[in-house]
Amino acid sequence: MSITSLPLAFSLPTRRSLPSRRFLPSISPFLRHPKLYHSKSSPFLRNPSIQPPIASIIVDAPNMAPSQPSFLDHKESGVLHFVKYHGLGNDFIMVDNRESMEPRVTPEQAMKICNRNFGVGADGVIFVMPGFNGTDYTMRIFNSDGSEPEMCGNGVRCFAQFIAELENLHGTQSISKALLILVQVKVDMGQPILLAPDVPTRLPANHKGAVVRAEILVDGIGWNVTCVSMGNPHCVTFSTKQGEPLQVDDIKLEEVGPKFEHHEMFPSRTNTEFVQVFSRSHLKMRVWERGAGATLACGTGACAVVVAAVLEEHAERICTVDLPGGPLEIEWREEDNHVYMTGPAEKVFYGSIPL
């Protein structure tokens, strides 16, 4: 058993409206270009003063035989070959799109593919695309409603594992071959964005330019919320205005979630996390994701939850966050202000679907 770490560089894009077509995190796994350790500044960065996140791939597994990606090499007109992955039940259709900067499916086709009754079924479609601006790969994702988010924490972990399969990397002999067998993937998600206009939210700032434990009225009920962006907007709540701690299993997510998502205080819509505090190091959340609805896991949401819990003095900076699909380990590191997420990424099956 051995553990190896591999750095990856991300560039986060600006987002102004939904849906839209733009690049998602540009990822450099340094498989061929070690000199790329310092990623170049990107015109897609929301705030150039914020350092791009650096991801570390943590391998904790014995050597095994390499996977067989030959199925994905088949090229047939009108047929999409894919691999389905999930991170704690947050599932994605992974597409090898390395030969073109144009996604192989449209947002409308992605909606059909993600349909759980008439398609494959997934929370989104992720494309591995050629790198740009000095990086090896670019990631784009279409949600199940055809919109395109800025960031996806669970998707990033699946993306890293899928790259390993595409490159037929295996074993743990060296850093350059540390990607294939992943049990836990650790990602540096960068610094949280707290300034209200940058989240963005129209709620008035009440804490050093941030929105912390502020009141919002949703469907006639007052909620205490903290707003955080991890590259995408999040509204985190631990209690109603009456101060009653949430019992998240009792939340009628399908009813209240869309009302938060489309609330006028969130000009780009929002993801919403409902959180229950078990202890200062153990939280439980349910999430309504912008563009996807109720999902089993949301990596950026778990990161936002820990940031909000620290700001509201509910928790310490290292927490286990329970999601319906399983736990994530989140750390908001004080020395660099970065948020680190650790969790699994697992392959489910191979498939083909006519377009």
Q: Is 152 known to be catalytic?
A: yes
Sheet holding 26-27, edge to edge: 26-27, 137-143, 124-130, 90-96, 79-87, 346-354
Nearest Cα residue to 103 out of 151, 144, 141, 154:
141
β-strand partners of 100:
none
Q: Point out the catalytic residue in the list 114, 298, 303, 319.
A: 298
* CB within 8 Å of 274: residues ≥ 6 apart: 237, 246, 248, 251, 253, 285, 286, 287
Q: Point out the catalytic residue in the list 114, 152, 235, 303.
A: 152
Task: Supply 30's token pair.
Answer: 């340094």
Q: Is residue 192 classed exposed, middle or buried when 0-12, 13-18 and 19+ CB atoms within 10 A define those classes?
A: buried
β-strand partners of 216:
223
- What whole-number distance in Å separates Cα of residue 301 and Cα of residue 283? 12
Q: Is 298 known to be catalytic?
A: yes
105 and 125 Cβ atoms separated by less than 8 Å: yes
- What whole-number distance in Å separates Cα of residue 27 and Cα of residue 55? 9
- What whole-number distance in Å separates Cα of residue 352 and Cα of residue 82? 6
* CB within 8 Å of 78: residues ≥ 6 apart: 354, 355
Active site residues: 152, 298
